[in-house]
Every structure is written in C-alpha cells, then in structure tokens.
Amino acid sequence: MMKIKRSILIILLSFITLATSCTLPGIGADAKNDIVIASGSNTERLILGEIVAQMIKHNTDLKVDMIPNLSSSILNHIAMLRGDVNIAGGMYTGTALTGELGMEPIKDPQEAMKVVQDEYYKRWDRLWYPSFGFENTYAFMVTKEFAEKHQLSKVSDLGKLKDELKVGVDTAWMTREGDGYKAFQELYGFKFKDIYPMQIGLVYTALATKEMDVVLGYSTDGKIASYDLVLLEDDMKLFPPYDCSPVATAAIAKTHPEVNEILLTLAGKISTKTMQQLNRRSDEDLVEPAQVAKDFLEENNYFEGTEVEEKYRIFDDVLKEER
C-alpha cells in the first residue's frame, strides 16, 4: 500500500510540475540570492506569507518577493524543488506527512514535528522551523452558552448527550479514512443520533443560529472568533496534528543567517486564538492580508528585542556544518 501511495505521489508531482512549468508569475527577485516566499491561496497562508515577508523587509535590506496563490502544500513543495522559491510562508505537519512525504499520519504532535523536520532536511535540505504556535485541524465546537449549560470541555463529554444533539459536520468527513466518522465511532465509542453533512463554510452559521448544537469545523477559522465559539478538546486524539511552520532552504539560511534568526523569532508567537482573529479581520472585516499582517507586526513592534528561546535553536549545528 505504501509503495502504491508513493507511486501515485510521484505521478502527481510529475503532472503538477508539467502543469505549472509555465504558469508561475514572473518575479523580480532571484531565489538563489534574494528572498522569494511562497504563500497559499487561502486567507491564513496569505497572512502568514505576508508576516514572514514583512518581518524580513523590516529587519534587513534584502530584496523580498512573493509567489502567492499556490493552492496546496505540494505546489509549494514543487516551487521549492524547481528553485522558484526559497521560503514557504506556512506549511502544516499533518499535510506534509501524508502528502509530499508519502507517510502515514502521526498522532503525537512532537513526534510528527520531529519526523517532518528530519525528513525535510534529509530529503531536500530544507529547514522546517518550529511552529508559529498554532495548528489548523478539524475541531468540534459549540457556543459558549451551550458549553457552560452542559459543562462541555472535551469531545468525550458529548457522549452523555449523543441522542439529543443535532450535529453538523463537513460532508467529506463522513467518509474520510483514518480520522472520519467511522474512526470517530471506533475511538470514542459512540455515534450521534442526528448528524447532518453540510458544506464546511455553513457549519458556523448553523451553530450560531442554533440550527445545530455541535459542529465540526476548522480550528483557526475566523468565524470562531466572530461567533465566540468554544473548541472542544480532542481528548482521544482522533485528528492528527497540523502544526503550522515556515519552511526555508538550508542554502538561503546559510547565505543569510539573519533570515534564520527572523524565522526562529516567529516561533511560538501566533496562538490559535490570535490566528482566528487575524483570519477574521480578513475574511469577515474584508481587510487585505498584507494589512492584517502589517497591523499584527506593528502591534508587536516586529518582535524587536525578542530573544530566541533555546529550545527552538534546533538548526544551529546544521547551519554550522553547512557553512
């Protein structure tokens, strides 16, 4: 099965490489010496790409350019393989494990992070930095009022109400392998009497208008902050971790050690709640991602004077060897 997955991945990568060989936008920077950052097509990764770019611009005289709207982790990966970019603004451990690495999901966050960091360096000479401080994964959520009324703090608490709840979930989750509804029932030991598949963008409104009692959404969606929702702890660890980090080539970190310091400075600086608020400003208040990033960095004085915690300095020996 693993060999089949790897073969499919290789075919997919080859196809995407051909498909994108003439479509990446022209950029003024040279990825061999300057900074070229890949960002995604969704709000979160656009904001993160801007945060990384603006931090580097603020602290250095380096030329910085961006390739936005690369819509998947694999497209970011291919752009780095081709030498079009040298930094990816936001990558997720769970996506990388089953995507470009072609491995099985890992439920322990620390182990998942270590495997991704080791494999990215071993296979492609890339540095997968410590997490920004949040992960974006599936999460069951309820209104604050409902959580207080029924004393809910974790997913297993829902078992006592399983026959009374109206539960709205992402349609794709119902048949998803590994961490879908079937796996939920096996792990948590119960199923819901009334469960309603729907588009994931609709679940938050359905919860806020009390059409649903519980919904399954994404943990950093801006609507969570808008509607003051409560995320329930996945206490049985159904969902694999999707911790988010910047990724850079070892070559650019060697050429520009100041960039390495900047990326390390961002470790642990964006909590789940903060990312929800940043996403909300862009998605709900319609503020451009670049402005959202600028306001965030200005509010935090671009983290000037911040000492990088020793636990985050995982690449010091690697970069010394590289030099």
- Tell me the pLDDT tens digit for each residue of 263-306: 999 999 999 999 999 999 999 999 999 999 999 999 999 999 99
Confidence of residue 318 (pLDDT cuts 50, 70, 90): confident
pTM of the model: 0.86
Q: What angle do CA 249, 255, 257 make, to 5 degrees?
A: 90
Structure tokens at 3: 């060999």
- Tell me the pLDDT tens digit for each residue of 35-65: 999 988 899 999 999 999 999 999 999 999 9
Q: Are 78 and 13 in contact (CB under 8 A)?
A: yes
Q: Are 221 and 204 in contact (CB under 8 A)?
A: yes
Q: Are 76 and 48 in contact (CB under 8 A)?
A: no
Secondary structure (DSSP) of 21-60: TTTSPP-SS-TTTSEEEE--SSHHHHHHHHHHHHHHHHH-
Q: Are 263 and 246 in contact (CB under 8 A)?
A: yes
The mean-pLDDT minimum among 104-113, 118-127, 235-244, 314-323 falls in 314-323
Q: Are 64 and 35 in contact (CB under 8 A)?
A: yes
Q: Please tell me whether residue 283 adopts helix, strand or coil conformation.
A: helix
Q: What percent of the chain has pLDDT over 90?
A: 78
